Amino acid sequence: MVSSASTVSLRDEVTELLQELIRVDTTNPPGNETAAAELLRAYLEESGVVCDLYARVPERANLVARIPGRGDGPTMLFLSHTDVVLADAAEWSADPFGGELRDGEVWGRGALDMKGQVAASAVAIASLAREGFRPAGELILAATADEEVGAGFGAQWLCEEHPDAVRCDYLINEGSGDRLELGGKPFYLCSVAEKMSAPFLLRVRGRSGHASMPGIADNALVKAAPMITALGEYQPERELTPDVAALLETVTGTKPGSPEEALKRAREIGQTFGELVEPLLSMTLSPTMVTASQKRNVIPAVCDVTVDSRLLPGTTPDEQQAIVREVLGDGEYELEVLEAHGGTRSPIETPLWNAVASWVEEVDPQAKPAPICVAGFTDSHWFREAFGTVAYGFFPSRVMDLELAARLIHSADERVPVEDLELGVSFLCHAAQAIGAP
């Protein structure tokens, strides 16, 4: 346990570092993450942490910092990204790049996603270095570029081009960590799996013609309409994944026997929990965009429908396409996979899970960690795929509630309570010590 005097100073330290990071505009595109990497390097080197910058192009550097291990024990990596999404200052009630501290919260773009965790990771590793911490295996911090666009300058590039710098057994990243009450009991969600984002294009073909004589044409937009309806109404087959089974077991005390039972029990706990669990039991198909004729008086020969689709970890785009063809039946259309990213999971019974659980028990004895699969994907999958890393998304958040945080991420007035930053530092130090102890 840290003394209360050092707790106060770590709180100030993480607050100030986050304020400085927010003031470095790393809006991606273009990113310009090198400025953030240099700021972090200057901060970390003051505490004697060895830092290297790795950059595919000079202005988009990734920072990798490390505390060497005593031997070849397990390697632990704190993963975060320094880029942020665009902020429209007109929508904000504070300067999005001001890093203002207001009523115990740090305001600015990236406060939640995810410069807060960048700062907490840096403060955790700096404070451990100052204490002379020597883990069994290396402790690494990787603050990477280009997560929000994913154009090959950040985590993916590091894993491919500099695997020796970032290879790790365990990894903590963004994605979850919120404290919430389910059935009257408190839980901290910890993301162990991510759905695959696999959007596709449905291209429906017809024959163009003048709109005043519909009989001579074959209207692709009209042909697409029942297909859009069929996709929107389709109820995919449900599957009980290990993460949802474990989630329900944690929350209700017993493992559900089927996906239907899991959903029923989740809904009994509350409507919001039911809504959270439902998309984790199957793939989702959501038609979101459509383009057809560019002119009012021309009947379109082609109608393009973009469908957002998230697959359960383990499901492939080929399986998805086969299902979609079955839903649509025969017809004049083509399907094109637009991309396929993520869709990986890590096991739950691991030393890293034990580290999460023992931290929760220490700071919030009433609460328990609960595993969750998240609908979006993070950079964790690059590490799971490259090195077989056990990667969890966990940055604890107790003061700000889940719904408010979800509304602020990528939106106006993004901010983070200082108390949650401090909680994050405490968790990261604990996890490093638990994994590094053997």
Q: By the criterion CB under 5 A, which residues form the site for Zn ion?
A: 113-114, 174
| Residue 114 or 421 having the CB closest to Zn ion | 114
Which residues are registered as beta bridge partners of 84?
A: 27
| Residue 114 or 247 having the CB closest to Zn ion | 114
- Nearest approach in angstroms of CB 326 to Zn ion is 35
| Residue 110 or 369 having the CB closest to Zn ion | 110
- Nearest approach in angstroms of CB 32 to Zn ion is 17
- Nearest approach in angstroms of CB 352 to Zn ion is 20
What lies within 8 Å, CB to CB, of 427 at 6+ separation is 356, 359, 363, 394, 395, 396
- Nearest approach in angstroms of CB 174 to Zn ion is 5
| Residue 56 or 410 having the CB closest to Zn ion | 410
Largest interatomic CA distance in the chain: 82
| Residue 174 or 178 having the CB closest to Zn ion | 174
Indicate the SS3 state at residue 125: helix
Q: For the residues of 30-70, what is the DSSP string, one character each? A: T--THHHHHHHHHHHHHTT-EEEEEESSTTSEEEEEEE--S
The residue at minimum Cβ distance from Zn ion is 113
| Residue that is written with structure tokens 């596709």 in the block | 200
- Nearest approach in angstroms of CB 377 to Zn ion is 10
DSSP letter, residue 93 = S
CA distance 283 to 193: 14
CA distance 431 to 188: 15
Indicate the SS3 state at residue 288: strand
Indicate the SS3 state at residue 171: strand
Indicate the SS3 state at residue 307: strand
| Residue 281 or 374 having the CB closest to Zn ion | 374
- Nearest approach in angstroms of CB 113 to Zn ion is 4
- Nearest approach in angstroms of CB 176 to Zn ion is 12
| Residue 80 or 320 having the CB closest to Zn ion | 80
| Residue that is written with structure tokens 């359960």 in the block | 312
Which residues are registered as beta bridge partners of 144?
A: 81
CA distance 250 to 231: 34
- Nearest approach in angstroms of CB 195 to Zn ion is 16
CA distance 196 to 320: 11
| Residue 174 or 420 having the CB closest to Zn ion | 174
